[in-house]
């Protein structure tokens, strides 16, 4: 092959022109919007109707299957959480307490929430714990354990303060627990050899526990486990304005328990309390006392309310009297002499529910 012929074949080969393709690749994309592609042609109306009808049929079938699965419990749903209650309207629940049977094995009593007396509250012989250091005291569970099981139906532990000197519990004003039992049956004592009574002497019973030492200075009648604390008013006395007797009676609120006597289970106190709605009015108590002791001529009359062995009573106290008392015995054959002493106080005990006189004593309770 000569060189001239080879040169002619090379001249016949031409490089492809790529400029057009390069320009097409580098042209901005927005030019495509100048001539948007046409939408596909719509289907025939009959075909569209078939598609819509089929879709509706599928939805109906799915609903039937879902309902059937719910009826058979196959579908579970997560419950909607309750809407939280605002703190201003929510009522706080009482603090949980250890059940009685966990503290005292075998105890069947329902344990009510503990009560701590504050803000001037008082209950029975207890006052408020305001101003006291509560550190270092035993727990309410320990106080319940130390009280023992009295086989009641209900029990509550109350923390309060008390004047030990005045109550003869010890020295100073200290913190005490009161373990209050309700639904107990404390039998009435009977002389030796007599038939036992079938009724209970007390149905409420309290055991006082020193909150620091755990010792028990006293136990006996006291408020029940559902008794409500009260706040002593600044003025404890006031005239009974409805009383027309002379002298007019005054209502006096007890500020401390009054020692009434000694019962089969220990000391018995007339405990301070506030009369509930089902208690007779003080005027009713005064009227019944005057009917019972109509012949006396007192210079002062007062009426007090409290609980005696858990029962509500009004005490109407006639004072400033001088009723003949029992004189000393006279030697045989001597001339009788008048009694040198006189009774100066008569107290009528009035049942708080009936208004009837249930007892009378002279002088002051021992």
Burial of 357 (0-12, 13-18, 19+ CB in 10 A): middle
Using alpha carbons only, how large is the chain's radius of gyration in Å? 47
Tell whether 264 and 323 lie within a shared domain.
yes
Tell whether 113 and 142 lie within a shared domain.
yes
Domain range spanning residue 172?
Answer: 100-188+199-231
Residue 205 CA to residue 186 CA, distance in Å, equals 8
Tell whether 106 and 225 lie within a shared domain.
yes
Residue 274 is predicted with a pLDDT of 82
Tell whether 282 and 218 lie within a shared domain.
no
Coil/strand/helix, residue 204: strand
User: pLDDT tens digits, residue range 252-286?
Assistant: 988 889 988 888 888 899 998 888 777 888 888 99
Residue 366 is predicted with a pLDDT of 38
Residue 111 CA to residue 225 CA, distance in Å, equals 9
Give yes or no for a contact between 249 and 316, defined as CB atoms under 8 angstroms apart.
yes
Tell whether 267 and 150 lie within a shared domain.
no
Residue 351 CA to residue 359 CA, distance in Å, equals 9
Question: Within a domain: residue 222?
Answer: yes
User: pLDDT tens digits, residue range 29-78?
Assistant: 544 445 555 544 555 555 556 555 666 667 676 666 666 654 554 444 44
Question: Within a domain: residue 60?
Answer: no
Question: Within a domain: residue 252?
Answer: yes
Residue 275 CA to residue 252 CA, distance in Å, equals 12
Question: Within a domain: residue 148?
Answer: yes
User: pLDDT tens digits, residue range 288-314?
Assistant: 999 998 778 899 999 999 999 888 999
> Percent helix, strand, coil in the chain (nearest 5)?
20, 30, 50
Q: CA 316, 229, 289 angle in degrees (round to 5)?
A: 10
Give yes or no for a contact between 158 and 127, defined as CB atoms under 8 angstroms apart.
no
Tell whether 170 and 281 lie within a shared domain.
no
Q: How many separate domains does the chain show?
A: 2
Residue 344 CA to residue 323 CA, distance in Å, equals 7
User: pLDDT tens digits, residue range 138-164?
Assistant: 999 999 999 999 999 999 999 999 888
Higher pLDDT, 324 or 235: 324
Higher pLDDT, 265 or 12: 265
DSSP string, 326-351: PPPPPPTTSPP---S-EEEEEEEEEE
Residue 243 has pLDDT above 70, yes or no: yes
Tell whether 135 and 211 lie within a shared domain.
yes
Question: Within a domain: residue 303?
Answer: yes
Residue 5 is predicted with a pLDDT of 66
Question: Within a domain: residue 282?
Answer: yes
Question: Within a domain: residue 54?
Answer: no
Query: Which pLDDT band holds residue 196 (cuts at 50, 70, 90)?
Result: low
Tell whether 216 and 269 lie within a shared domain.
no
Residue 263 is predicted with a pLDDT of 81
Residue 123 CA to residue 108 CA, distance in Å, equals 25
CA-closest candidate to residue 161, choices 112, 121, 221: 121
Q: What is the DSSP letter of 29?
A: G
User: pLDDT tens digits, residue range 333-365?
Assistant: 556 555 546 778 999 999 988 889 999 988 744
CA-closest candidate to residue 134, choices 120, 118, 123, 157: 118
User: pLDDT tens digits, residue range 91-132?
Assistant: 344 568 999 999 999 999 999 999 999 987 888 888 889 888
Burial of 363 (0-12, 13-18, 19+ CB in 10 A): exposed
CA dihedral for 261, 266, 270, 276, sign (positive or negative): negative
Query: Which pLDDT band holds residue 203 (cuts at 50, 70, 90)?
Result: confident
CA dihedral for 211, 217, 220, 221, sign (positive or negative): negative
User: Within a 10 A sphere around the Cβ of 247, how many other Cβ atoms?
Assistant: 16
Question: Within a domain: residue 216?
Answer: yes
Tell whether 302 and 226 lie within a shared domain.
no
Coil/strand/helix, residue 104: coil
Tell whether 227 and 250 lie within a shared domain.
no
Residue whose pair of structure tokens reads 């007892």 in the numeric block: 359
Residue 164 is predicted with a pLDDT of 86
Tell whether 298 and 277 lie within a shared domain.
yes
Residue 28 has pLDDT above 90, yes or no: no
Residue 313 is predicted with a pLDDT of 95
Tell whether 149 and 178 lie within a shared domain.
yes
């Amino acid at each position: 092959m000569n060189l001239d012929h080879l040169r002619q074949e090379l001249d016949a080969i031409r490089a492809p022109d790529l400029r057009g393709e390069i320009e097409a690749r580098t042209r901005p994309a927005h030019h495509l919007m100048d001539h948007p592609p046409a939408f596909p042609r719509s289907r025939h109306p009959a075909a569209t109707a078939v598609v819509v009808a089929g879709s509706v049929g599928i939805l109906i079938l799915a609903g039937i299957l879902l309902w059937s699965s719910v009826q058979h419990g196959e579908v579970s749903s997560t419950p909607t959480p309750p809407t939280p209650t605002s703190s201003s309207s929510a009522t706080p629940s009482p603090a949980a307490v250890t059940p009685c049977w966990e503290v005292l094995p075998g105890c069947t009593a329902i344990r009510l929430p503990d009560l701590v007396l504050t803000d001037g509250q008082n209950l029975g012989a207890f006052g408020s714990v305001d101003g006291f250091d509560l550190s270092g005291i035993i727990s309410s569970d320990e106080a319940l354990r130390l009280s023992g099981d009295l086989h009641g139906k209900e029990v509550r532990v109350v923390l309060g303060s008390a004047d030990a000197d005045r109550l003869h519990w010890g020295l100073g004003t200290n913190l005490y627990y009161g373990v209050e039992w309700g639904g107990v049956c404390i039998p009435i004592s009977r002389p030796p050899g007599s038939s036992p009574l079938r009724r209970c002497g007390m149905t409420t019973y309290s055991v006082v526990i020193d909150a620091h030492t755990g010792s028990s200075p006293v136990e006996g009648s006291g408020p029940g486990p559902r008794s409500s604390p009260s706040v002593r008013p600044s003025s404890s006395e006031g005239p009974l304005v409805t009383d027309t007797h002379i002298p007019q009676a005054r209502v006096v609120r007890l500020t401390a328990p009054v020692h009434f006597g000694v019962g089969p289970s220990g000391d018995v106190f007339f405990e301070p309390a506030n009369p509930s709605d089902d208690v007779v009015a003080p005027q009713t108590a005064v009227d019944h006392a005057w009917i019972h002791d109509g012949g006396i001529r007192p210079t002062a009359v007062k009426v007090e309310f409290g609980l005696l062995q858990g029962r509500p009573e009004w005490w109407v106290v006639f004072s400033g009297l001088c009723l003949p008392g029992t004189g000393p015995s006279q030697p045989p054959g001597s001339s009788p002499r008048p009694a040198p002493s006189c009774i100066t106080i008569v107290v009528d005990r009035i049942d708080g529910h009936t208004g009837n006189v249930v007892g009378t004593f002279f002088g002051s309770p021992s």
